[in-house]
Structure 1
Amino acid sequence: MGSLRLSNVTKRYDDVVAVNDMNLDIEDSEFISLVGPSGCGKSTTLKMIGGLEHPSEGTVRIDGEDVTDDPPKDRGLAMVFQNIALFPHMNVYDNMSYGLRIRGSASDEIDHRVDEAAETLKLEGMLDRMPSELSGGQRQRVAIGRAIVREPEVFLMDEPLANLDAKLRVHMRTELQRIQRKFNVTTIYVTHDQEEAMTMSDRVAIINDGELQQIAPPLECYHEPENRFVAGFIGSPSMNFVEGTVRDGRFESEKFDLDVRDFDLGGAEHLTVGIRPEDVYFAESKETNSSEPIRATVDVTEPIGEKVFVYLYTQSENELSNRDLTDIDAEGRSQFLMSAPPDREVSEGDTIDVVLDRRSIHLFDTETGEAVAHGVEPKSTPTP
């Protein structure tokens, strides 16, 4: 068993709060990713779970047992961190088997586990090499192998694929999932790569400024973010945000107006509309679930093969012909991004009409950042 619970865990460094009142319940055999911007506290959280950092407040429990004050060796964990720590005087075999030898495992069992891990990690033929003879990616694979052979109750991984080349990194995502399922091991995985988190995890825990923002299955975080931070962090490219005010059932802003009578706004008057670039379409493809057309000017296009990212300046039709686009602020806050099909030709300076998929519109309270509503289905039309 490898269930894990963090209860009101806080970590302070002098007057800096790195982790603030963290509560996490992780079930046995779950694969959980901790994601967030640099300095958000995800690695500190992992270190407190592993016993490398002691919480300033709160408790860490594994299988219901309080291990807050236990040293790492007594927690039944295996750790792989971003900074590779191999014994430089030991070859690959000895590095990978070290933990098993310390525990007194039989030689045949050690050989079997090391050989199996070496095959999985593509380290066959390298077991006699010294760490100095390996590339950075190979050394990281040895570190992963050292954790795998121990068959622990919980894996702790802090960006273990960071030093691998792109092709091997994609392969290792699949291999890590296969290994985790094979050994049925609870895995807590820290990464800055949201694609890794989305593709590998049972649930994703998004952290910002030391506080847990949302923990949910990847697609739930994508489709139903609990606040504006989660909405902007999950998804690439990032969600578009437009701030405005609700009057008489309409959202009004400098960029566009939107009918929001079908949304349950809970009385909120100052809202931020969020819409992902892939949910913005050319007006000619308008369907019953689309918003009213929005006039826009093309600023920049970025063809990337299967789609084209189109950066827009959205304005009302009357303003469009009178406003000098060079006056729009230099930070690009007036820009609006859409993801267009590659067969649709658009060029800088083109004037186009776009629509939003109302089923994919997100509304947030501007003051608190909390989600108010996530999309609406089109109302059915009565049959005559």
Structure 2
Amino acid sequence: MANIKLELVELRKEFGDLIAVDDVSLGVEEGETMALLGPSGCGKSTTLNMIVGLEPPTSGDILIDGKSVLDVPPGQRNVGLVFQDYAVFTHMNVRHNLEYGLRVRGMTRPDMEREVAKVAAFLNLGHQLDSKPLELGASELQRVAIGRTLVTNPEILLLDEPLSNLEAEMRNQMRRELRRIQTETGQTIIYVTHDQIEALSLAHRIAVMDFGALKQYDTAHNVYHYPDNTFVGSFLGNPPMNFVRGQFGHDGNRPVVAQNGSIIPVPPSSAAGLGDGAEVIVGMRPESMLVAEAGDPEAFIALVVAVEPQGPETVLTVRLGQTDLKLIVGTGMQAHEGSEITIRPDAELLALFDAASGVRFRA
């Protein structure tokens, strides 16, 4: 069983009447990358600041290796924080930036030179040790910021929106770099982001937050494919999950959800325990809706209202009753605006949510 490196226990932060973090509990295993994901203002950075010690929690606890660190000053928690704005000393060259944390700790010159050389080589900065920050590009600056933290050998590496200031290609490059760092060092990483692509591509597990509350904490695969609620389903995915509101019932022996005469067959496993007439929301990912043959008993019919070719795939907008849905198909699929199409949702990935609470029904 893996060791729990970091544990948050009913962590709460209030600013007057504002609840910034609402009793969040989760554990991060040693050597894994966990992403704190959510929209701006959801409490991600406040949670990070409490872990570092920059903000005291209103209540709850923070444990590292099973021991509370609430009374431990920020500089003694042995956690490293990398900000989105690089946070390097512009008057120092790369070498002196990397040495800074080691000089503060009183490391001897030979040991300091050895550690700096090791980190510089690891981050491909060895040829730029004498360069000033103003001579570097954005991705190189971010590597210096990460290196300045890594060289101190922190127990946990905290990254606060580290790629948000980079252009698209540089973000892709730095994502690859961060994956390599995690794989080769086994570093425990907490990664704060509002970018779902970063979270899904980098994290072993994702904590999705909204208005200070933890909406779901699970593997990246499960958070995307099996959202616990409509917020998670709508926040992840591009296009996001489709939602159809209707009444649960039966068409013969088939469980279905009906909306103004249109029906969607749903798998019996997802509808276990539901009574006829229950107000529900059907959730379907655009890529999990397949074009089927007419008459398929597990399919429904919709009207094509828009066709958007996007290189290797095409996004269809189809109308079912009063609801427009997004459907992703291959470029070879011939569809025309105004025509009808038969769609079969993947039964394994179709979700049913309570219409009032937005919470997913479980089999």
Query: AA paired with 2:315?
Result: F
Is contact 2:115–2:151 with CA below 8 Å preserved after alignment? Answer: yes
Give the Cα separation in 1 of the matches to 2:291 and 2:21. Answer: 44
Pair 67,228 (structure 1): closer, same or farther in 2 beyond 3 Å: same
Query: AA paired with 2:300?
Result: P
- 1:369 maps to which residue? 358
Is contact 1:2–1:29 with CA below 8 Å preserved after alignment? Answer: no
Say if 2:268 is the partner of 1:262: yes
Pair 260,182 (structure 1): closer, same or farther in 2 beyond 3 Å: closer
- 2:320 maps to which residue? 314
Alignment equivalent of 2:283, drawn from 250, 266, 274: 274
Give the Cα separation in 2 of the matches to 1:114 and 1:345. Answer: 58
- 2:348 maps to which residue? 359
Alignment equivalent of 2:140, drawn from 128, 138, 148: 138
Q: Which deviates further from its counterpart, 174-183 or 278-287?
A: 278-287
Give the Cα separation in 2 of the matches to 1:303 and 1:107. Answer: 60
Following TM superposition, by how much is the alpha carbon of 1:297 offset from its aligned partner in structure 2, in angstroms? 2.5
Gaps of 5+ in 1: 316-327, 329-333, 375-384
Following TM superposition, by how much is the alpha carbon of 1:258 offset from its aligned partner in structure 2, in angstroms? 2.5
Q: Which deviates further from its counterpart, 262-271 or 82-91?
A: 262-271
Pair 286,207 (structure 1): closer, same or farther in 2 beyond 3 Å: farther
Give the Cα separation in 2 of the matches to 1:364 and 1:307. Answer: 29
Alignment equivalent of 2:33, drawn from 8, 22, 31: 31
Give the Cα separation in 1 of the matches to 2:222 and 2:178. Answer: 23
Following TM superposition, by how much is the alpha carbon of 1:286 offset from its aligned partner in structure 2, in angstroms? 8.2
1:44-63, aligned counterparts within 5 Å?
44-63=46-65
Matched residue SS, 2:81: strand
- 1:110 maps to which residue? 112
- 2:73 maps to which residue? 71
Give the Cα separation in 2 of the matches to 1:303 and 1:294. Answer: 21
Pair 303,106 (structure 1): closer, same or farther in 2 beyond 3 Å: farther
Query: AA paired with 1:302?
Result: E
If the length of structure 1 is used for normalisation, what is the TM-score? 0.85
Is contact 2:248–2:274 with CA below 8 Å preserved after alignment? Answer: no
If the length of structure 2 is used for normalisation, what is the TM-score? 0.90
Q: Which deviates further from its counterpart, 225-234 or 348-357?
A: 348-357
Query: AA paired with 1:347?
Result: H
Pair 219,261 (structure 1): closer, same or farther in 2 beyond 3 Å: closer
Give the Cα separation in 2 of the matches to 1:177 and 1:11. Answer: 31
Following TM superposition, by how much is the alpha carbon of 1:276 offset from its aligned partner in structure 2, in angstroms? 0.6
**Percent sequence identity over aligned pairs:** 39
Give the Cα separation in 1 of the matches to 2:350 and 2:295. Answer: 15
What value does the CA root-mean-square deviation take over the aligned residues? 2.2
Alignment equivalent of 2:125, drawn from 117, 123, 126: 123
Is contact 1:137–1:163 with CA below 8 Å preserved after alignment? Answer: no
- 2:209 maps to which residue? 207
- 1:340 maps to which residue? 329
Pair 2,284 (structure 1): closer, same or farther in 2 beyond 3 Å: closer
Following TM superposition, by how much is the alpha carbon of 1:279 offset from its aligned partner in structure 2, in angstroms? 1.6
Following TM superposition, by how much is the alpha carbon of 1:147 offset from its aligned partner in structure 2, in angstroms? 1.1
Say if 2:338 is the partner of 1:349: yes
Matched residue SS, 2:80: strand
Give the Cα separation in 2 of the matches to 1:2 and 1:138. Answer: 32
Query: AA paired with 2:350?
Result: I
Following TM superposition, by how much is the alpha carbon of 1:2 offset from its aligned partner in structure 2, in angstroms? 7.2
Residues 147-174 of structure 1 deviation map (CA, whole Å, 9 limit, x = unaligned): 1111111111112122333333223223
Q: Which deviates further from its counterpart, 151-160 or 85-94?
A: 85-94
Residues 76-129 of structure 1 deviation map (CA, whole Å, 9 limit, x = unaligned): 111101133222221111111100122122333333332333334343432222
Matched residue SS, 1:61: strand
Pair 64,184 (structure 1): closer, same or farther in 2 beyond 3 Å: same
Alignment equivalent of 1:40, drawn from 38, 42, 51: 42
Q: Which deviates further from its counterpart, 108-117 or 146-155?
A: 108-117
Query: AA paired with 1:273?
Result: V
Give the Cα separation in 2 of the matches to 1:102 and 1:234. Answer: 42
Give the Cα separation in 1 of the matches to 2:295 and 2:115. Answer: 58
Give the Cα separation in 1 of the matches to 2:170 and 2:267. Answer: 49
Matched residue SS, 2:114: helix
Alignment equivalent of 1:251, drawn from 249, 257, 276: 257
Structure number with higher strand proportion: 2
Pair 82,307 (structure 1): closer, same or farther in 2 beyond 3 Å: same
How many residues of Structure 1 are paired with residues of Structure 2 in the alignment?
A: 354
Query: AA paired with 1:253?
Result: Q
Residues 260-285 of structure 1 deviation map (CA, whole Å, 9 limit, x = unaligned): 47233333511100001112222339
Is contact 1:296–1:312 with CA below 8 Å preserved after alignment? Answer: yes
- 1:292 maps to which residue? 299
Query: AA paired with 1:127?
Result: L
- 2:182 maps to which residue? 180
Pair 66,286 (structure 1): closer, same or farther in 2 beyond 3 Å: farther
Give the Cα separation in 2 of the matches to 1:74 and 1:255. Answer: 64
Give the Cα separation in 1 of the matches to 2:175 and 2:295. Answer: 38
Pair 49,135 (structure 1): closer, same or farther in 2 beyond 3 Å: same
Matched residue SS, 2:103: helix
Is contact 2:299–2:342 with CA below 8 Å preserved after alignment? Answer: no
